[in-house]
Structure 1
Amino acid sequence: MNKRITNHPVLGSLEDKTEVSFTFNGRTLKGKENESIAAALLANDIRTLRYHEESGLPRGIYCNIGHCFECRVTVNDKQGVRSCLTPLQEGMTIQSGGPLPTPVRDWRAAHE
């Protein structure tokens, strides 16, 4: 089942966009060049983009306009990239974030 919007009332036809390949967590996927990484992942039925650093709970797209930072992924070894704002390009290597190896220290406790 195709989950991609192919005709948009404002943007027009999106079918003419160039298809590109990229990897997410080692899995090769297809997307449309210059669409947001978040849109490409959603079109590939991927909802979990990272895991909370301390709790390990799944995180996905929340605001989709770059304010909340919930959609952070690692792109070509650069951490903290907002997938909702980053255009997809051929050959990108994208990885989800996971829990940190040790618990994050509570800033307040460290400064009391």
Structure 2
Amino acid sequence: MKSMRVEHHPILGDMEKQQRVTIYFDNQPYEAYKGDTIASALLASGVRTLRVHEDKETPRGIYCNIGHCFECRVTVNGVNTVRACVTSVEENMVIESGKSFATSSQKGGQL
């Protein structure tokens, strides 16, 4: 997929001068730049769905992009409920999309 990233910005400068890092989202490698948030890096790569709703299993992505709504929560390096919109990328970061839970776990039962 063609990058959705702005490569040349009149204020931020040229992206090719930025340090590149590799992140992994659901076992797929993606290019990001130092200073990107997880959300901005994935958005620039064409990723729109970061998780699915726990009950309805409908896709969820970036909503407020300022850390208030938690719609962009993902698992990062094994840590759950990380907000992708306010978390900076790091080299070799492993990000997993939010998965839906079994109905029994939603109601306090065992998986």
The two structures have a TM-score, normalised by structure 2, of: 0.86
CA offsets, 1:22-73, max 9 Å, x none? 1100111111122010011011111000001111110000011111110000
Q: Which runs of 5+ in 1 are unaligned?
A: 107-112
Match of 2:59 in 1: 58
CA radius of gyration, larger in:
1
Distance 2:9 2:63 in 1: 21
Contact 2:3/2:46, CA 8 A, preserved across alignment:
no
**Kept in 1: contact 2:24–2:92 (CA 8 A):** yes
Paired amino acid for 1:84: C
2:90 alignment counterpart: 89
SS at match of 1:15: helix
Name the counterpart of 1:67. Answer: 68
Q: Which residue of 2 aligns with 1:109?
A: none
Unaligned stretches of 5+ in structure 2?
none
Q: RMSD of aligned C-alpha atoms?
A: 1.6
Q: What residue number does 1:105 align with?
A: 107
Q: Distance in 2 between matches of 1:57 and 1:75?
A: 21
Q: Aligned pair count?
A: 106
How does 1:20-59 map onto structure 2 within 5 Å? 20-59=21-60
